[in-house]
Amino acid sequence: MIEIKNLCKTYHLKSGDVPAIQNVNLSIHEGDIYGIIGYSGAGKSSLIRCINLLEKPDKGEIIVDGTTLVSTISKNGEEKVSIIPNRALRKTRKNIGMIFQHFNLLDRLTVYENIAYPLRYSGYDKKEIHNRVIELLSLVGLSDKINVYPSSLSGGQKQRVAIARAIASHPKVLLSDEATSALDPDATESILHLLKDLNQKLGLTIVMITHEMSVIKSICSKVAVMEDGKVVEEGDVYSIFSNPKTEVTKRFVATTSALHKVDQLLNSSILLGNDQKGKLVKLIYQKTSVKDALISEVSRKYHVDVSIVLATVEILQDAPLGGMIAWFQGNEKDIQSALTFFSDSDVKVEVIEHGRVD
């Protein structure tokens, strides 16, 4: 649905050049809820604003739903960026809705008029606009607020109006730039729920920019992590949570993962000076291996005692991800066989500390 290739964007300021996007490649499929996470200044907004050309890139390629918005041609050794002409761009923009952190509603217009506004420029007649607004208000659960002004709505309700306006002309793509960042936890959850619902009901492809990993965890299927204008890690949300590779991704995952408790315990001094014998082991269980009674099987098979210090499990994308810290006791060879058995059963094994082995 969205292809981004070798995208670059530098802002030229008096104080110097700011390379906001540096050679970014992304492939977002139809029906994805695709998260883009990064700290402030990472280049997230610049990237998302390039997708609907609110920002003009310097180089690269952007294709949205089969339409090439940006391309780069090499001529006589020089690279020249080519942007889709204005008239075609206006048409494409109808296919791309956008929502923002501060809602961007028109305060002097009622809820009805705010939603009707973009439809007036889309060739709809009065009756069609009326019917569509009624339909959209019901879709976002705000039918009773049709004639009120934005100032009398809560933040969550304002964002619902903004969502209705953004999807009014049936776009296939919705770009969301920190749409829940100004909301309290309850409103955040209900907006995320609405977005997921629209994704499923309408097949809407959503690109979600956020600096909160909990947002990614709750509705995204894929995620790209940005740092200094680059995508430093990318993949499906489950793999990123179960096996984050870069430091920045590990920090984001740690903010919301139950598995973080495992690392917190390992980093604390609680386990030091423990007089346990054997090996202290960290186990990460993925998908299928969570369900199996591997611990009891290992104990039986290899005659090792497993004493669990901490165990936790969380659900990500409808699949469990578990973590455990446990002491393995028995003879060295048996412990080794037990650990190999875990590795072979799709469990990630890490020996933390070698204790005294009998």
Ligand X SMILES: Nc1ncnc2c1ncn2[C@@H]1O[C@H](COP(=O)(O)OP(=O)(O)OP(=O)(O)O)[C@@H](O)[C@H]1O
Residues lying near ligand X in the complex (CB under 6 A) are found at 11, 13, 18, 20, 38, 40-46, 211
6-14, 40-48, 221-229, 299-307 -> range binding Mg ion (CB under 5 A): 40-48
Partner whose binding site includes residue 176, from Mg ion, ligand X, none (CB under 5 to 8 Å by kind): none
CB closer to ligand X out of 20 and 216: 20
* 203 vs 65: CA distance, rounded Å: 13
* Site mask for Mg ion (CB under 5 A), range 251-270, x = bound: --------------------
Partner whose binding site includes residue 18, from Mg ion, ligand X, none (CB under 5 to 8 Å by kind): ligand X
* 190 vs 31: CA distance, rounded Å: 20
* 308 vs 317: CA distance, rounded Å: 26
E strand or H helix that includes residue 12: strand 2-13
CB closer to ligand X out of 213 and 338: 213
Task: Show Cβ contacts of residue 286 under 8 Å, excluding neighbours closer than 6 positions.
Answer: 242, 321, 346, 347, 348
The least distance separating ligand X from the CB of residue 8, rounded to whole angstroms, comes to 12
The least distance separating ligand X from the CB of residue 246, rounded to whole angstroms, comes to 16
The least distance separating ligand X from the CB of residue 210, rounded to whole angstroms, comes to 9
Partner whose binding site includes residue 57, from Mg ion, ligand X, none (CB under 5 to 8 Å by kind): none
* 266 vs 326: CA distance, rounded Å: 11
Question: CA separation (Å) from 347 to 46, 250, 342?
Answer: 39, 19, 5
Binding residue count for Mg ion, defined by CB under 5 A = 1
Partner whose binding site includes residue 11, from ligand X, Mg ion, none (CB under 5 to 8 Å by kind): ligand X
Partner whose binding site includes residue 211, from ligand X, Mg ion, none (CB under 5 to 8 Å by kind): ligand X
* 86 vs 114: CA distance, rounded Å: 24
CB closer to ligand X out of 32 and 227: 227
The least distance separating ligand X from the CB of residue 353, rounded to whole angstroms, comes to 39
The least distance separating ligand X from the CB of residue 36, rounded to whole angstroms, comes to 9
Question: Which runs of E-coded beta strand occur in 90-229?
Answer: 96-100, 173-177, 205-210, 222-227
Among 35, 36, 45, 99, binds Mg ion (CB under 5 A): 45
User: What is the end-to-end Cα distance of the chain in Å, rounded?
Assistant: 59
* 250 vs 248: CA distance, rounded Å: 5
Partner whose binding site includes residue 46, from ligand X, Mg ion, none (CB under 5 to 8 Å by kind): ligand X
The least distance separating ligand X from the CB of residue 15, rounded to whole angstroms, comes to 10
Q: Are 261 and 310 in contact (CB under 8 A)?
A: yes
Q: Are 140 and 194 in contact (CB under 8 A)?
A: yes
CA nearest 303: which of 281, 345, 275, 336?
336
Partner whose binding site includes residue 195, from Mg ion, ligand X, none (CB under 5 to 8 Å by kind): none
Residue whose beta carbon is closest to Mg ion: 45
The least distance separating Mg ion from the CB of residue 45, rounded to whole angstroms, comes to 3
CB closer to ligand X out of 19 and 320: 19
